[in-house]
Structure 1
Amino acid sequence: MKLKIFIISLFFTTFSYSQITKNNWLVGGSGNFKTTTTKFLSDGTKPYDNRTIFTIAPNVGYFFYDKLSGGISLSYTYDNIFEDYQYFGIGPFVRYYFLNPEKRINLFLQGNYNYYEGGAKTVDGNDTGKFHNNGHGFKAGSAIFLNSSVALELSLDYISNRLNSTLKEKTFMIGAGFQIHLEK
């Protein structure tokens, strides 16, 4: 029992600094639960009500300066608007950490652009066809470093997508994820 307490104490005290300095790598991802509101179409009709969406988004980045990283993010999204509505995304991101690297809890802000491709089937099995769109987003949250390399992240995310010439989506998400900070 004493050995377990010693290891846990060592884990949280000795390694209570983070690797958010120049030339380090950031590898991880997050999962998001979203509630989406869609604007009215140009003809005044609303295509669907609010809905629930689930996203998984892995990413890889590089710290070009202390506390500033940039990289690529991928995403997979499942949406309950139709019976089977799925799309994939890819795009660059930039992330900045506000507090000193020695802090165990740090705050961050991230901006990103995404390009999406996907398709859907309606409840009666009809294929709605393939689509593509693009959007931008922001993420703000806290990184809680469990040791010198691993951080648990909790965030509030905002994404704005233009689906076609008449439909624009604005999404707020609550996210959770892990990031692994690797030294060069």
Structure 2
Amino acid sequence: MVFLTYVFMKQFNIICFFLLISWLTHAQTEKGRFLIGAGTNLGLSESPGMMNLSFSRQKTFIDDGLSGQTNNNNIFIATKVGYFFFDNLVAGLDLALGSGRGTSTFDAATQNLDSKSSLFSIGPFVRYYIPSGKILPFAEVNALFGSRNIEIGGFVSSESQQSFTNIGGGLGLAFLLGRRSSIDLVLNYNSNKINFESEDYTDRKNTLGIKIGFTMFLGKIPEI
């Protein structure tokens, strides 16, 4: 009898544990709560300041024994604010900011180029979580609409303004840190349409990369 009681209590504790985990997970993503997050895209880029965090170096060899080197440093951060309209389904706005610097140095001292850029964009996002304990799979789609300014100086100088549209989506995992926050990893796909206004042409780029972010889950607004 004692043994049966022990087995029953052990099973009961296990069931209560999983019910508690399920309740905590649901509480984080239940209807009426808020989400605040920030993140960046990881990758390499030949385009300074275009929606990623990257540091690249390129070596170029030219005829007559000349050589050159190009360095690009890009910083990009996207913040988001959302509201859970239904359990596990959150929608809101993304705000993205970016800046980049590039330097091209050649053996001939008169052939150096410096570039810098800034980026601003805003757009909607929708994310759906699948409750599953301490790690929450989720799917997300988003769109960004914005502009980028590029300045080039050196033996030639120019300034250009570009507008762009970004449509993206991805599958991710939210690694919960307690009850109010998570670290997010997303396999992300982006389709960029860039309009070069001064040169009257459009460039399209499709990329697949990794996005990393930090998310906080906030409580409901108290009812009056």
TMscore range, shorter length: 0.7 to 0.9
Structure 1 length normalisation: TM-score? 0.75
Aligned Cα root-mean-square deviation (Å): 2.5
| Paired letter, 1:21 | E
Mapped contact 1:35–1:173 kept (Cα < 8 A): no
Q: Structure 1 residues 54 and 169, CA, compared in 2 at 3 Å: closer, same or farther?
A: farther
Matched residue, 1:116: 146
Match of 1:168 among 204, 213, 218: 204
Tell me the CA shift for residue 138 of structure 1.
0.7
Q: How far 1:98 sits from its partner (Å)? A: 2.0
For residue 40 of structure 2, the aligned residue among 31, 48, 72 is 31
- Larger RCO, structures 1/2 (Cα 8 Å, 6+ apart): 1
Cα deviation, residue 83, structure 1: 2.2
Alpha-carbon separation, structure 2, partners of 1:109 and 1:116: 24
Q: CA deviation at 1:86?
A: 2.0
CA distance in structure 2 between the partners assigned to 1:80 and 1:170 by the alignment: 22
For 1:33, give the aligned amino acid: L
CA distance in 2, matches of 1:68, 1:25: 11
Q: Distance in 2 between matches of 1:161 and 1:120?
A: 17
Gaps of 5+ in 1: 1-14, 39-50
Change (3 A) 1:64 1:116: same
Q: Is there any run of 5+ residues in structure 2 with no aligned partner, and where?
A: 1-19, 48-71, 103-113, 196-200
TM-score relative to the length of structure 2: 0.63
Match of 1:8 in 2: none
Larger radius of gyration: 2
Q: Which has the higher helix share?
A: 2
Measure, in 2, the Cα distance between the counterparts of 1:135 and 1:175: 15
> What is the CA–CA distance in structure 2 between the aligned matches of 1:23 and 1:117, rounded to whole Å?
33
Q: Distance in 2 between matches of 1:153 and 1:181?
A: 13
How many correspondences in the alignment?
157
Q: Which residue of 2 aligns with 1:138?
A: 169
